[in-house]
Amino acid sequence: MSTAPRVTLVTREGCHLCTAARETVARVCAELGVGWRELDVDADPGLLERWSEEVPVTLVDGRQHDFWRVDEPRLRAALVAPPRGEAPGSLTR
C-alpha cells in the first residue's frame, strides 16, 4: 500500500471553516485508513496565489475535490475508489 497521503487539506490559521474541514477530513481518513496532510495557504506563495479565496480546499489524489466545506459522503466515495491512475485491483509498490 502507498504511504503517500491521498488527501491534502489547504487551510489558514483562524479559519472556522478550516477547523470544521480538518475535523471531517481527519475522521474520515482515520476511519478509512487513508493518509492526509495539511498545508498552510499563507506559508506558500504559490498556494496563496491559487487558493487564498477558497480555503479550506480539499484535494484528493492531487486534484481539487471541494472548497469552503467538505462534503463528507462525497469524500468517502472518492476515497473508497482506487487512487487516480491505478486500475481496480492493482498493487501499489
Q: What is the distance between the alpha carbons of residues 76 and 53, in angstroms, rounded to a whole number?
A: 25
In a domain, 63, yes or no: yes
More confident residue, 3 or 1: 3
Any domain includes 40: yes
- Terminal-to-terminal C-alpha distance of the chain: 7
Domain that holds residue 35: 7-74
pTM of the model: 0.85
Higher pLDDT pick, 89 / 49: 49
Residue partners of 8: CB distance under 8 A and separation at least 6: 36, 37, 38, 39, 58, 59, 62
Residue 74 has a pLDDT of: 97
pLDDT at site 83 = 82
User: How far apart, in whole angstroms, are the C-alpha atoms of residue 18 and residue 11?
Assistant: 6
| CA pair distance 17, 68, nearest whole angstrom | 6
- The enclosing domain of 25 has a CATH number of 3.40.30.10
Q: Give a yes or no: residue 81 inside a domain.
A: no
Do the domain assignments include residue 33? yes
Question: Number of folded domains in the chain?
Answer: 1
